[in-house]
Amino acid sequence: MRYDDLDGLLEHIWNYIESGVIDRANAMTTPAFATAGPEGPNVRTVALRRANRGSRALIFHTDARSNKISELEETPSAVWMGWDADSSEQFQLRGRTTIHRSDEVAATMWASLPDDELAFYFKPKAPGTPAEAPGSGIQPGAIDEAEARRNYAVVRTVVDEIKWLYVGRDPEEERQAFYQWDGQVFCGEWVVP
Amino acid sequence: MRYDDLDGLLEHIWNYIESGVIDRANAMTTPAFATAGPEGPNVRTVALRRANRGSRALIFHTDARSNKISELEETPSAVWMGWDADSSEQFQLRGRTTIHRSDEVAATMWASLPDDELAFYFKPKAPGTPAEAPGSGIQPGAIDEAEARRNYAVVRTVVDEIKWLYVGRDPEEERQAFYQWDGQVFCGEWVVP
């Protein structure tokens, strides 16, 4: 597409993000997820599990004891970011994040997990805890499934702001758009990149 | 390499990071750079320009008027993060960041810029400013080289903490190491991933 129409571009952005859940070549499949932590900002790669334009929601899951969770409990604002080196596009999505442990959101996502992913939650010691030797910390026999389930959390961000950047081969091709949710729709404008 | 030796792994990590400056297939070539902003965390992709194990320094450059700069002036703590999907490794580097505009660091980096990259600094309006139409904002005739030079800043982070994560195909292969600078050396330990 030619990037010169704000409505068409917004359509393209959401199509791209929603494709991230299934298309492994997409930059939103494993985006950077930034939070505010006690030592300043923090960022790590997460796996996008659900994306929905209608609800503006992006979802990943993680160990409920990880530092992402404690950081989000303190500061729920988060940014998801993907950089597609092939198409030279950057996607930045800011929103408010909620944590789901024992509600229906968490139960539905837990039920959808394949067996090999359940394994990640069979860790008696929390992520970040010192370990005597290199290893995953997974010990299926040491804890039962109910405890593994308690180690599981779903993280859901409702997007309020979208920043999109295109970097051409020629510096003069560069362009940037910024969208803000006004309660009804995303209002877009071009900005200097 | 087999990841079971903390000293060998640290060597591997720095070799990898230093290679990011020249090897375009490397995840540290265009890492995520996270800062603390007024609305919470922020993160974008930057281009790694210099990396040096001896000085523990990582460098990129940007428009001095961009929000990265104002965010770092407020909170100098930053995290660089690269995710290598091929080797299933994640690199996270936290440190204190300094901004260089008119000192020797900035002058040396400015002098090393190829002509096509100089173009980025010929923008009369600051990045993030609303624009009437999609475009780069670059106007070579509108400002002179001295003004372009004033729009240029070098951002340098001295790394204090390194977190390295390996995610195998099998969840049980996962492992994580954490290193902290003690004033003399990086002290490493294994942690639960």
What pLDDT band is residue A23 in, cutting at 50, 70 and 90? confident
Instruction: Please check the confidence at residue A56 and state whether its pLDDT lies above 90.
Output: yes
Which of B80, B135, B185 minimizes the C-alpha distance to A40? B80
Q: Is the ipTM of this complex over 0.95?
A: yes
Instruction: Please check the confidence at residue A167 and state whether its pLDDT lies above 70.
Output: yes
- Just give the CATH number of B6-191: 2.30.110.10
Who wins on pLDDT, A103 or A2?
A: A103
- What Cα–Cα distance (Å) separates residue A3 from each residue in A70, A161, A166, B63, B135? 39, 19, 9, 23, 10
Q: Is B172 close to A138, i.e. CB distance below 8 A?
A: yes
Q: How far is A177 from chain B (nearest CA, A)?
A: 8
Whole-number Å distance between alpha carbons of B15 and B5: 15
Which among A1, A42, A123 is the top mutation candidate for probing chain B, defined by the most B β-carbons within 10 Å of its own β-carbon? A42
Q: Tell me, what amino acid is at A95?
A: G
Q: How far is B138 from chain A (nearest CA, A)?
A: 6
What pLDDT band is residue A1 in, cutting at 50, 70 and 90? low
Q: Which of residues 158-177 of B touch A (CB under 8 A)?
A: 170-177
Contact list in A for residue B164 (CB cut-off 8 A) is none
What one-character-per-residue DSSP string does chain A give? Answer: --S--HHHHHHHHHHHHHHTTT-TTSTTSS-EEEEEETTEEEEEE----EEETTTTEEEEEEETTSHHHHHHHH--EEEEEEEETTTTEEEEEEEEEEEESSSHHHHHHHHT--HHHHGGG--SSPTTSEESSSS----TTTS-HHHHHHTEEEEEEEEEEEEEEE--SSGGG-EEEEEEE-SSSEEEEEE--
Query: Hey, where are the domains in chain B?
Result: 6-191
Which of B121, B143, B111, B135 minimizes the C-alpha distance to B64? B121
Instruction: Please check the confidence at residue A43 and state whether its pLDDT lies above 70.
Output: yes
* B128 Rama sector, left if φ>0, alpha if ψ -120 to 50, beta otherwise: left
Distinct helix (H) and strand (E) counts, chain B: 5, 10
Question: Are the C-beta atoms of residues A126 and B163 closer than 8 Å to each other?
Answer: no
Fill in the DSSP letter of residue B142.
T
Q: Tell me, what amino acid is at A181?
A: W
Place of tokens 């180690």: A151
For A130, the token pair is 């010192």
Whole-number Å distance between alpha carbons of A23 and A4: 26
Q: Is A129 close to B43, i.e. CB distance below 8 A?
A: no
**Averaged over A122-127, what is the pLDDT?**
98
Q: Is A191 close to B127, i.e. CB distance below 8 A?
A: yes
Contact list in A for residue B127 (CB cut-off 8 A) is 176, 191-193
- What Cα–Cα distance (Å) separates residue B94 from each residue in A21, A97, B51, B112? 29, 23, 14, 26
**Averaged over A136-164, what is the pLDDT?**
97
- Just give the CATH number of A6-116+144-191: 2.30.110.10
pLDDT along chain B (193 residues), means of 10: 90 98 93 96 98 98 98 98 96 98 98 94 98 96 96 98 94 96 98 98
Closest partner residue to B127 (CB to CB) among A130, A190, A193 is A193
Residue A3: per-residue pLDDT:
87
What is the enclosing helix (H) or strand (E) of B150? helix B145-150
For B174, the token pair is 């996962």
Question: Which residue from A minimizes the CA distance to B121?
Answer: A171
Q: How far is B191 from chain A (nearest CA, A)?
A: 4
CB within 8 Å of A184: residues ≥ 6 apart: none
Residue B174: per-residue pLDDT:
96
Residue A63: per-residue pLDDT:
98
Question: Are the C-beta atoms of residues B157 and B95 closer than 8 Å to each other?
Answer: yes
For B191, the token pair is 């942690």
Q: What pLDDT, in 10s, does the model give residues A179-190? A: 999 999 999 999
Place of tokens 């200097």: A192
Contact list in A for residue B90 (CB cut-off 8 A) is 44-45
Closest partner residue to A44 (CB to CB) among B75, B90, B123 is B90
Q: What pLDDT, in 10s, does the model give residues A12-21? A: 999 999 999 9
B30 touches chain A (CB under 8 A): yes
**Averaged over A74-90, what is the pLDDT?**
97
Closest partner residue to B92 (CB to CB) among A3, A44, A94 is A44
Ranges assigned E (strand) in chain B:
32-37, 40-45, 50-52, 57-63, 77-84, 89-100, 130-131, 152-166, 175-181, 186-191
Q: Which of residues 130-159 of B touch A (CB under 8 A)?
A: 130-138
Q: Is A92 close to B43, i.e. CB distance below 8 A?
A: yes
Instruction: Please check the confidence at residue A168 and state whether its pLDDT lies above 90.
Output: no
**Averaged over A110-122, what is the pLDDT?**
95
Question: Which residue from A minimizes the CA distance to B189?
Answer: A130
Residue B24: per-residue pLDDT:
83
Question: Which residue from A minimizes the CA distance to B161?
Answer: A39
Residue B83: per-residue pLDDT:
98
**Averaged over A61-70, what is the pLDDT?**
98
Fill in the DSSP letter of residue B171.
G
Whole-number Å distance between alpha carbons of A40 and A35: 9
Which among A9, A43, A96 is the top mutation candidate for probing chain B, defined by the most B β-carbons within 10 Å of its own β-carbon? A43
